A and B are shown apart, each in its own frame.
Chain A
Amino acid sequence: MTYTLPPTPGAHAVAAVDGFAIGGAGVPVLDVDGVTKSYPGEPPVQALRGANLTIGPGELVGVVGPSGSGKTTLLQLMGTLDRPTSGRVRLTGLDVATMADDAVAYLRATQIGFIFQQFFLAEHSTVLDNVADGLLYAGIPLKHRRQRALDALELVGVAQRPHVRPTQLSSGQRQRIAIARALVGQPAIVLADEPTGNLDQATGQSILALIDQLHQAGSTIVVITHDHAIAERMPRKVEILDGHIVADTGPAAGTHSRIRPLAQPLTHAPQTASGGPVSEEPS
């Protein structure tokens, strides 16, 4: 590959597992410091009332809360899609508040990957180009974007048919493609908003298994969910209620840093961690 990766600030010792970089020790990947967010209205809506959250490299965090608790607002602020009313968001050590809009956009292009409940795949584009578009705004030539997209598809286990349209695939495979798009730029952090929300339970389990596998490979991932059962199984659980972070189990270590298995295995338990094809019903 002839292109150079965008610099990962603070990454003095970058290790690579499966070709994907892990941030170095020292600077946290994400630092949310006393962040509030209120939306204009009569009266103004206080979505976040002083949230503090620090996420280190390689962590897998589940953020859980009921609807209206402010978890989506927290994701938007962590993802620099919106700016806080007060407080600071630092991403890889950079204070987003001091940066111009275009610089923040470039930060998103190179350091943040998003996974959405609705996938948001372009139906008239191929699977490969959907994933390659994850690098479109990072200033990488099309040929290299496609090569890296193929690598990312390989990683999530749907590299068999890169030239079909996403509409020809099952919803589980589509979410895998969306995950590949989030990972293709080797971001410092991946933010997932209800990644299993549109999937049946078995498919959801396979996606969680994939997330665990990526986490094992070194990716820093935040999963937002309303489902306590999912959050319980995460190595670190952050609970949010009425705009406050009410519980945080803190960074996990050792054997606890994996997604814990289901208490009662599903009847059609999908393969985990091995990365092999997963039997999913086309939707």
Chain B
Amino acid sequence: MTATATRRRARLPLSDLTRLSTVGLRTRKLRAGLSALGIAIGVAAIVAVLGLSASSQAALLNEINQLGTNLLTVSNGQSFTGGTAELPTTAPVMIGRISGVQQVQTTGAVNGAKAYRNPYIPSGNTNGLSVQAASLDLLPVVATTVAQGHYLNAATAQEPVTVLGAGAAQRLGIDRIYPGERVWVGGQWMYIAGILKPAVLVSAIDSSVVVGYPAAEKYLGFDGHPSTIYLRAQNDRVNAVDDLLAATANPENPNQVNVSQPSSALVAQAEAKSALNGLFLGLGAVALLVGAVGVANIMIISVLERRSEIGLRRALGATKGHIRTQFLSEALLLGLLGGAFGVTFGAASTAVYAHTKHWATVIPTEAWAGGIAASLIIGAVAGLMPALRAARLSPTQALWSV
């Protein structure tokens, strides 16, 4: 006899396989939809959690970038004896001469001076505020502006006039400025010229009551030594400048100087994962697991219900492999369907939330690709056992015991 007839075996082309794998989904739409929903919820939760944290992080990093990553601060450290070291008064000028430094501004802590709303406040209620003498072009360097009123100028820097940091104004109970308004600073009245906006990069400014250098020296007994120097360097020279700062600021005792880059601390903070993320990812994984059980359940029921279809297909010439492939690809399709819906839901909710927060929407690749991959794996694992059962079913039992 012809050998071809005994050896030949039909291969189902992909188009036929696709058609076959949708039979169960098309005939029982509601049930397929519900079982895919479990996977969809799990994938949506995971995509949304990853998307939201990525979007908020991107927004924060963007904000930090806009504030500038080229801000460096030099502050006084500790002396050998444990006391506060002082920066030389020449330090700002010396630093200004480093190549690549664009702007240098300073503040000096006025030790011993406290700020109160009025003289009748008990001296212990300092509100944690510090009194700082500040140079006149400080604001652009620390990336903030005035919320109300004006900053110090060459004239007001000579007089008992102060500008309040955003936090300082709040703690003193001052939300707006009217002419003649004053606070009790270092044992005397000082007139309020303005209130600052929050300084994200340099939060020390927020809790400061700021006066001019000459006024601090004249009225508060300030010694004129800067305690913190703020400088902006050219973006490509930040590291080079950073290396030179300590030795330049205090050539005698470079180890008594602290140099830091405020933006780097914020970036590290932004990139730290929130513990809540882990919780929500865990919940998403549980939903995925429940979805997998649902798909397995639906596939087993489907195999039981479709005994006669399986028997008929065997009678029409389907091999065990054909039946196995059909049911396995149906489970895969179910998983893929859930995964695709989940990614869509997750991405949409991320986009909506990000839009309300005016963030750019960021969906990390590993979130959506991982979601699709996870749902495919779930479909395969959940569908394997039912598919094997379907293939094992003997055609005579399937057709004659219904």
Interface residues of A (CB under 8 A from B): 6-7, 9-10, 72, 76, 79, 81-82, 92-94, 99, 101-103, 105-110, 112, 114, 116, 118, 120, 122-125, 133-134, 136-139, 141-142, 181
Does A76 lie within 8 Å of B10, measured CB to CB?
A: no
| B5 contacts partner chain A, Cβ-Cβ < 8 Å | yes
Smallest CB-CB separation from B308: which chain A residue?
A120
- A7 to chain B minimum Cβ distance, whole angstroms, is 5
**B 265-316 contacts with A by CB, 8 A:** 308-309, 311-316
Residue of B nearest to A10 (CB): B1
Complex: A103 Cα to B402 Cα, angstroms: 27
In the complex, the 10 A-B pairs of residues with the closest C-beta atoms, listed nearest first:
A109-B317, A139-B10, A137-B317, A105-B319, A108-B317, A124-B27, A120-B312, A81-B395, A102-B9, A114-B315
Q: In the bound complex, do residue B5 and residue A94 qualify as a contact, i.e. CB atoms below 8 Å apart?
A: yes
Q: Are B15 and A142 in contact (CB under 8 A)?
A: yes
Assess whether A136 is in contact with B9, with CB atoms less than 8 Å apart.
no
Contacts of B317 in A (CB 8 A): 105-110, 136-138
Q: Which of B5, B7, B16, B320 contacts A101 (CB 8 A)?
A: B320
Closest-by-CB residue of A relative to B7 is A103
Contact across chains for A103 and B315 when beta carbons are under 8 A apart: no
B394 at the interface (CB under 8 A from A): yes
Contact B10 A137 (CB under 8 A): yes
Residues on the B chain within 8 Å of A99, using CB: 6
Q: How far is the CA of A105 from the CA of B309 in the complex (A)?
A: 16
Contacting pair B318 A137 (CB below 8 A): yes
Are A7 and B319 within 8 A (Cβ)? no
Q: From the candidates B9, B311, B395, B400, name the one contacting A106 in the complex (CB within 8 A).
A: B9
State whether A133 and B316 are in contact (beta carbons under 8 Å apart), knowing that A122-B309, A138-B10 are contacts in the complex.
Answer: yes
A141 to B16, CA, bound (A): 9
Number of CB contacts from chain A to chain B under 8 A: 105
**Cα distance A133–B16 in the bound complex, in angstroms:** 10
Residue numbers in A under 8 Å from B12 (CB-CB): 136-137
Contacts of A142 in B (CB 8 A): 15-16
Q: Is the CB of B321 within 8 A of A102?
A: yes
Q: How far does the alpha carbon of A9 sit from the alpha carbon of B322 in the complex, in Å?
A: 25
Distance to closest chain B CB from A245 (angstroms): 20
Contact present for B1 and A118 (CB under 8 Å)? no
Q: Quick one: closest B residue to A107, CB to CB?
A: B5
Closest partner residue, chain B, to A184 (CB atom): B316
Which residues on B sit within 8 Å (CB–CB) of A139?
Answer: 8, 10-11
Most buried by B among A72, A93, A108: A108
Total interface residues on B, CB under 8 Å, equals 37
- Report the bound CA distance from A204 to B52 in whole Å: 67
How many angstroms between the C-alpha atoms of A71 and B402 in the bound complex? Answer: 18
Name, among A101, A134, A137, the residue most crowded by chain B CB atoms within 10 Å (CB to CB). Answer: A137
Quick check: is B396 within 8 A (CB to CB) of the other chain? yes
B316–A136 touching, CB < 8 Å: yes
* A108 CA / B318 CA spacing, docked (Å): 8
CB closest residue in chain A, given B317: A109
Partner of A105, one of B4, B27, B314, B394: B314
Contact B9 A108 (CB under 8 A): no
Q: A7-B2, A79-B315, A137-B316 are in contact. Are A106 and B399 (CB under 8 A)?
A: no
Q: Which of B64-114 contact A (CB under 8 A)?
A: none
26 cross-chain CB contacts under 8 A: A6-B8, A9-B5, A81-B395, A81-B396, A81-B399, A94-B1, A94-B6, A102-B319, A103-B5, A103-B7, A103-B9, A105-B314, A106-B8, A106-B10, A107-B5, A108-B315, A109-B10, A109-B317, A110-B317, A120-B308, A120-B309, A122-B23, A136-B12, A137-B12, A137-B318, A139-B11
With beta carbons under 8 angstroms apart, the residue of A110, A114, A124, A137 that contacts B23 is A124
Give CA–CA (A46, B95) in the complex, Å.
106
In the complex, the answer to whether A103 meets B6 with C-beta atoms within 8 Å is yes
Residue with the highest number of chain A CB atoms closer than 10 Å, among B11, B312, B320, B396 = B312
Rounded to whole angstroms, the CA-CA distance of A81 and B319 in the bound complex is 11
A105 touches B9 (CB 8 A): yes
B235 smallest CB distance to A (angstroms): 63
CA distance A99 to B27 in the complex (A): 36
> What is the CB-to-nearest-CB distance from A226 to chain B, in angstroms, rounded to a whole number?
14
Bound complex: CA of A196 vs CA of B261, how far in Å?
91
> Which residue of the partner chain A has the closest CB to B402?
A118
Contact A137 B2 (CB under 8 A): no
Residue of A nearest to B395 (CB): A81
User: How near does chain A come to B8, taking the closest CB pair, in angstroms?
Assistant: 5
Contacts of B13 in A (CB 8 A): 141
A116 to B308, CA, bound (A): 11
Cα separation A141 to B14 with both chains bound (whole Å): 11
Bound together, the chains give a CA A102 to CA B11 distance in angstroms of 11
A258 to chain B, nearest CB (A): 28
Q: Which chain A positions have C-beta within 8 A of B312?
A: 116, 120
B165 → A minimal CB distance (Å): 72
Query: How far, in angstroms, from A107 to B16 measured CA to CA in the complex?
Result: 20
Is B314 touching A9 in the complex (CB atoms < 8 A)? no
Given contacts A9-B2, A106-B317, A139-B11, 9 further A-B contacts (CB under 8 A): A76-B396, A79-B315, A81-B395, A94-B6, A101-B319, A102-B9, A136-B317, A139-B8, A139-B10
B5 to chain A minimum Cβ distance, whole angstroms, is 6
Question: Restricting to B165-210, which residues have a CB under 8 Å from any CB of A?
Answer: none
Minimum CB–CB distance from B394 to chain A (whole Å) comes to 7
Instruction: Mark out the residues of chain B between 19 and 57 whose CB falls within 8 Å of any chain A CB in the assembled complex.
Output: 23, 26-27
Q: Check B396–A7 contact: CB distance below 8 A.
A: no
Complexed CA–CA distance, A106 and B9 (Å): 5
Most chain A CB neighbours (cut-off 10 Å) among B9, B12, B16, B308:
B9
Binary CB contact string for chain B from 363 to 402 against chain A (1 if under 8 A, 0 otherwise): 0000000000000000000000000000000111001101
Contacts of B309 in A (CB 8 A): 120, 122
User: A103 to B317, alpha carbons, bound, how many Å?
Assistant: 9
Q: How far, in whole Å, are A82 and B400 apart by their CA atoms in the complex?
A: 12
Residues of chain A lying within 8 A (CB to CB) of residue B321: 102
